[in-house]
Structure 1
């Protein structure tokens, strides 16, 4: 059975002929090899690229053509080669419930005779076992046959040119998972297959041969331990590599030599004769020529090992550029939906294409045109390719025909989403899309979105207990947030390679404990254009009519608007806000949700001025830059880093000491699950406090003048101040779980950041900074766990915050009376702001005085009190 199973594996391997190990050719004499660059089709036309939903196993197979890639420890995605430990399942099928399920059922039956607390704990433990044990039990029953020896470790000795982790990807022999080797209960148990071990020797020899080590030798060592487990070691003698002594490139002339640019090739005299490097040089030359007007360019390669003692080789590359050509006819083959008429004409398709007749042929431009057609979502299948030779113009080699093959998609689409969030409670979203509105590939999108359902007024149910208690601390969560939008988008405008759009919208959106922005009506005109591949630039102009509500304490402390009348100048009326913006987004990652490698860069620039239609008090310039970097450290560990910078200029448009007024909704905030995780949402930086109890009144010089002072020492909630300058840095290690590695991920992180006010002083007496200082950075370490769900990764983070709460101003606010009057009192210790008696019997503090930052809040002294828990759904960065 063992041999039969190995034979079946070999038959199932893709391109098995290139993976069967063959004895290395001895270097006793000179030998010569030839590599002919593969031609896409017998008629000379290169294959077209078919775009479809990306499949992880396809990418893994493309990275390793010999099919020997596998997943050590079950942490790498991809189509794994059948491993040495593979064995047919025995006993119960993997889908059957384990025995522990029946035990749990009996526990529930007997639970009536136990206390309720014990029943709860038993239920929790049973649920945990039901989640964890099936994977371990199935692994134990399907990975090994009875009597087989478990692989305790896998090592490589004698390897200097390649790391052991890289060689481990080339063999099928795999040790048991980390959880299994450590705890002996959970995880996958993998056993030794002697037949596969012998094949692994050939795989390693073939790998070294392909990379220029022709005399490499491989042996194995299997050491058994007392617990019936084995340690497998591959003993490698690499030997000296064959080096390129001479490189000769022919076939290029004065027109093609600058295009091929062979001086930048990795293949040059003195390097190892690596066939992977040789193929890369061939592909580079062909790609450069085919991207610059030579559709039939090809390269033939050969090499000769002429000195077997010194291990030297000669390499020859013969470039066959062919004729330079331009695009002639473009033929469209459009297949409509079954039973439906064709919706898009040839002229519409040609307008959507980013290439046209008369353009110089470029394989890269052809691929871009194909991708853009597919991203329009009008087609289920797109293929743009060079037509076969039989369809090319007779007697004219300077013109080529392009074929566009399409299958139409549905043109109308409805998407709905329902979810729950910590700071939004229940929320919903619905989108209606017509991809061919009024024909000619025009697009209409209607969007409706609501949040705060279950907590906002008139939407509460179940007593509001289904929402997070943190929403009670946010005065702006008492109203439903909404967003209504209609967008009309054109595929092109006047032949420009850009996508213009016009939008009308109305919204109410809030920032936790910071502000509530209500837009009665707004409009936006935008143009999106790809500057380069995956580098879109969006330019927009928006004009909206609305108002911003901010907490009275913030308006008093930051903007010196302490009385009701002056605060109403900011929050009491609707005003026009006109914004010109530019957004640049560069995405170079392997996965948009859970990237393991690559970089991202986002740049935002927004500006509002009276000259473009904005209100005099609504003027600013705001810039944000956000960059991320991802790198895999091992198959199960990823390093991630992020840097975010921001700055806002007020209506003075100056970086100096006088910044000027900045609207509350444009201030910068930090802290929370997607920022510095040691702080709660928006609480990084200076804070203002709202007193818990009523203040004490002290009579002044006259009977109708009093002073307020807080006596309780406690605060009910905080008001984030934010700032006009921001820096946030995140460092993170992400570990795949040993149990359910595709679903669970653990993280350790170190977040740092600072938010400060540049220029001038706060009204509350806290001095602002005119320049950044490293001492202002607040660093918080922590750990977290992510669970990947169909709606995105659910994250729970625990950050340790060693910093004391900052001193700040403290205010006492009363509920509005029947006339809407809501007084705000500065109750900071030692404040000298007098309050006068009003005719209605209340008091109001005199404007003009600064509320001092003399309140020191109670501090968190224990370790557990300094832990900050944050929750979110969706990627953090």
Structure 2
């Protein structure tokens, strides 16, 4: 331990006869002599003490150096030593403990004498002891003697920080952004480099405001790195970007300008393309499907796209196990050339082999084979595998399902081998509960609910129960449906239904049993050609207008018939077509057993077309023609006649409102009531044997919303062929909200040249476009 003391005590440590001045002089003289000795050593060729002083060249004499103090003056200042002092100097030094005891004794001798006042009036402080103990001294402060309170009862008052009453306004720094030197690169690149920078720039994103200049500088640094990455992605690998904050003049009214000076440098191009792969079949498969050619700039997006195309093309052409390796691009900074090398492991050329399935099965491998569109021995094509995966998903029977190829090692000839298709299944819940709701003028409200077990009779044998509760219609229906019945996308179903209908045209209690085989479009696969055929048995008791009595009466009809339908669909969507056309022809040969057997044929033709002059506008049109041949109208059950009007027919009119009408007595009219307001007669549609309809729409969509203007026209005739006369028109506007499963439709329309009994306004709400 080193003990410091004031300069006044230094003399106590000096030998007798030495003064402080003499010791200092002695030290200075010694230092000067040491400097002279060092210089002499250097001249003598010894190791230099000061490396920075170079040796003089030969023949050059150094100037004489005057000593700071002469030897005579130095010796004169040295005092003569007493022989007794020599003995004391030669004596060994005392230990630290002896030194401390001696100093303590000297301090004790200096204690106050009797009669001197003790420090602070306490004698204990006059003993020169630096450490004092309280001992048993009495404590006069009662609070100091009191015991400490428990921690749980200790009252801690929170520290209140005084609020600064002065409002400190946060000042912002406004700046503008200037990018120099990017114009030439922007012209050469196929993409908008400036636009890409503006979209991602930290400086642009802050809208020209920053907390301080340091923040502007930080954003400049970030944007500098961004520009280098953008330029490198387009082939400028040696681009440099210098940044600065310019305060010299205002730009766009801003006092600061964040400047980025860009020097793109050389744009690197492909000098050579190496696809390192074994021979393939056909031999030009790789080169033909690799989008990059020598001489093109090295653009990252094109490189990634070309490699991705190869990764897709090889499995589509018989190489399911192909793997694309890690690319290597060797750049020559002197020439700006790049040599591109891509290793490719094609794996064996393969053909479709067998189908295997594992996991929690919804159905077996035989039914998976029904869903597949490939045969064993065909050249492997990954598009067929993707199609099978989509077909499995479309069944709705899986939580998860995967379809992957596996090597079998089995030779398939021609240098190929069979690839086994492995289907891993995890069956999901097979039951579904669904519901829907709608409203239409003339039809009223309609609620429908259904319960479905999609795989009660595997594979894909579904049982469906449904019910309808509406103001005009109530029904209960049971259906057995076999999807993919022996063939992909073919459906077989048997339906039994009990129905009560109460419309202005008729009231009926109907029982129906039908069987149908169909090939229809689905939400995943929209078929260009569809068909359906089946058989139907109908028993119905209906209220009808009897022209002989000009009154209503009930009759029972028994109808048996066949159903056949074909359709062509060239549109781009089932529920929201924007281009293309679709047509449907329905032919139903039937026979009525009401007072004898009367055969007849019902036929209905529909066609619609769609044109999109812009991305947001669709022009749509529809026509419909129907005819019933071989039976008089009165012999035909009212439910089997043609009607027009409503949301899916001619908007602006109520459901089934168009066509021939009859005036019938109003059962609610009371002729004895003087306040009766009802009409004594009702105007009731009675249907016809032919119909024609047409509609035109202009649809404008903005985002998820849209508006529609439309004109509908149509008429129903008593004759068996459409007459194209007395056409009625309805006009209106509609709103659309576009969802993932189709547009939500709200239409409002009014008839032109409205007739008695027709509503002024008709409203239609449903899912999907009107056509």
TM-score bucket of the superposed structures, by smaller chain: 0.5 to 0.7
Aligned to 1:434: 453
Aligned to 2:532: 539
- Residues 248, 315 of structure 1: 8 Å contact kept: yes
Aligned to 2:51: none
Q: 1:733 aligns with which of 685, 700, 717?
A: 700
Aligned to 1:461: none
2:698 matches 1:805? no
Shift of residue 539, structure 1, vs aligned partner: 2.5
- Residues 630, 641 of structure 1: 8 Å contact kept: yes
Separation in 2, partners of 1:165, 1:682: 59
Separation in 1, partners of 2:503, 2:338: 68
Q: 1:449 aligns with which of 461, 467, 484?
A: 467
Shift of residue 429, structure 1, vs aligned partner: 3.7
- Residues 584, 603 of structure 1: 8 Å contact kept: yes
Aligned to 1:620: 602
Shift of residue 381, structure 1, vs aligned partner: 0.7
2:312 matches 1:287? yes
Separation in 1, partners of 2:339, 2:426: 49
Question: Which string of whole-angstrom CA distances, capped at 9 and with x for unpartnered residues, describes residues 700-755 of structure 1?
Answer: xxxxxxxxxxxx9999768597963333232222335xxxxxxxx64322213433
SS at match of 1:446: strand
- Residues 658, 716 of structure 2: 8 Å contact kept: no
Aligned to 1:607: 587
Separation in 1, partners of 2:358, 2:433: 30
Aligned to 2:768: 875
Shift of residue 489, structure 1, vs aligned partner: 1.1
2:526 matches 1:577? no
Question: Which string of whole-angstrom CA distances, capped at 9 and with x for unpartnered residues, describes residues 238-278 of structure 1?
Answer: 99999999999998989526978949x98789999865455
Separation in 1, partners of 2:228, 2:310: 29
Separation in 2, partners of 1:761, 1:481: 31
Label 1:870 to 1:343 Cα distance change in 2 as closer, same or farther (>3 A): closer
Separation in 1, partners of 2:332, 2:656: 71
Separation in 2, partners of 1:150, 1:661: 87
SS at match of 2:379: coil
Question: Which string of whole-angstrom CA distances, capped at 9 and with x for unpartnered residues, describes residues 214-255 of structure 1?
Answer: 999999999689xxxxxx9x9999999999999999989895
Structure 2 unpaired stretches of 5+? 1-168, 176-181, 668-677
Alpha-carbon RMSD: 6.6
Shift of residue 528, structure 1, vs aligned partner: 3.2
SS at match of 2:384: helix
Aligned to 1:782: 733
Label 1:715 to 1:661 Cα distance change in 2 as closer, same or farther (>3 A): closer
- Residues 654, 762 of structure 2: 8 Å contact kept: no
SS at match of 1:372: helix
SS at match of 1:374: helix
2:483 matches 1:528? no
2:421 matches 1:402? yes
Separation in 2, partners of 1:645, 1:269: 56
SS at match of 2:557: coil
- Residues 733, 748 of structure 1: 8 Å contact kept: yes
- Tell me the matched-pair count: 557
Shift of residue 619, structure 1, vs aligned partner: 0.4
Q: 2:282 aligns with which of 256, 259, 262?
A: 256
Shift of residue 443, structure 1, vs aligned partner: 1.3
Aligned to 1:645: 623
- Residues 307, 313 of structure 1: 8 Å contact kept: no
- Residues 673, 876 of structure 1: 8 Å contact kept: no
SS at match of 2:629: coil
Aligned to 2:48: none
SS at match of 1:398: strand
SS at match of 2:390: helix
Shift of residue 407, structure 1, vs aligned partner: 1.1
Label 1:756 to 1:419 Cα distance change in 2 as closer, same or farther (>3 A): closer
Q: 2:477 aligns with which of 473, 478, 484?
A: 484
Shift of residue 621, structure 1, vs aligned partner: 2.6
Shift of residue 385, structure 1, vs aligned partner: 0.8
Separation in 2, partners of 1:261, 1:568: 80
Aligned to 2:143: none
Question: Which string of whole-angstrom CA distances, capped at 9 and with x for unpartnered residues, describes residues 586-628 of structure 1?
Answer: 7855xx88x7x97686543311226999975540332323456
- Residues 501, 527 of structure 1: 8 Å contact kept: yes
Counterparts in 2 of 1:609-758, with a 5 A limit?
609=589, 616-626=598-608, 633=615, 638-651=616-629, 673=647, 679-681=652-654, 719=685, 724-736=691-703, 746-755=705-714
SS at match of 2:587: strand
Label 1:425 to 1:320 Cα distance change in 2 as closer, same or farther (>3 A): same
TM-score, normalisation: structure 1: 0.48
Aligned to 1:820: none
Shift of residue 526, structure 1, vs aligned partner: 0.9
Aligned to 1:360: 379
